[in-house]
Amino acid sequence: MRRITSKIPAADVFAEALDASNPALDLPLDMCLVLGGDGTMLHAMHEYGSAPVYLGLNFGFLGFLMNDLASDNPLEHALRVLRARAWQEHRFPRL
The model's pLDDT over 14-42, given as tens digits with 9 standing for 90+, comes to: 899 888 887 778 888 899 999 988 899 99
Enter the pTM of the model.
0.83
**DSSP code at position 23:** S
Type and span of the H or E element at 40: helix 38-48
Q: Classify residue 18 as exposed, middle or buried by CB count within 10 Å of its CB (0-12, 13-18, 19+).
A: buried
